[in-house]
Amino acid sequence: MPVRDFALGLHRLGNGTTVLALAGEVDIYRGPEIEEALAQAIGPEWHRDLRGGPCGALSADGGEARDEEARSLTIDLRAVTFLDSTALALLLAASRRQRARGGDLVVLVGPQTPMTAFEVTGLDELLSIRRGNAEQGARET
């Protein structure tokens, strides 16, 4: 069995919180899978920021979160060993979309999460980044 260098899991906690857990190398090759998971969590219009649409654009329903959409989204990067600019762009677009619709996004990191990418780009100042476990991150949002 080949060794996987990437894993993704989307878990709804039932209280309006969704956790997107990523593991391994998060790069341009995994972008489509991550986009699909974010569309499932946030709603299909989340990627307007990423695709060049108006920043913070709202959906036709005024941006209100539907029941199946996450009001609070935790992106768990504790098991991520590599991030590229694609991953950073996806995180920023998802955060902007969540804010535009009145939700929030927390990026959960651990000791092996490559923080240099966040620090060099200044995203550590733009995103809500927390250290800890997924349940902690979900409760703090």
CATH superfamily of 6-140: STAS domain (3.30.750.24)
The residue extents of the domains of the chain are 6-140
Using one digit for the tens of pLDDT, what is the confidence trace for 80-136? 999 999 999 999 999 999 999 899 999 999 999 999 999 999 999 999 999 986 555
53-96 pLDDT, tens digit per residue, is 433 333 333 344 444 567 899 999 999 999 999 999 999 999 99
Q: Is 6 helix (H, G, I), strand (E, B) or coil?
A: strand
- For residues 24 and 45, give the distance between their C-alpha atoms in angstroms, rounded to a whole number: 27
Q: Looking at per-residue confidence, does 39 or 1 come out higher?
A: 39
DSSP 77: E
Predicted confidence band at 14 (pLDDT cuts at 50, 70, 90)?
A: confident
The overall pTM is greater than 0.75? yes
**Contact call for residues 16 and 42 (beta carbons, < 8 A):** no
- Which residue, 71, 77, 78, 111, is CA-closest to 91? 77
Rounded distance between C-alpha atoms, residue 55 and residue 8, angstroms: 27
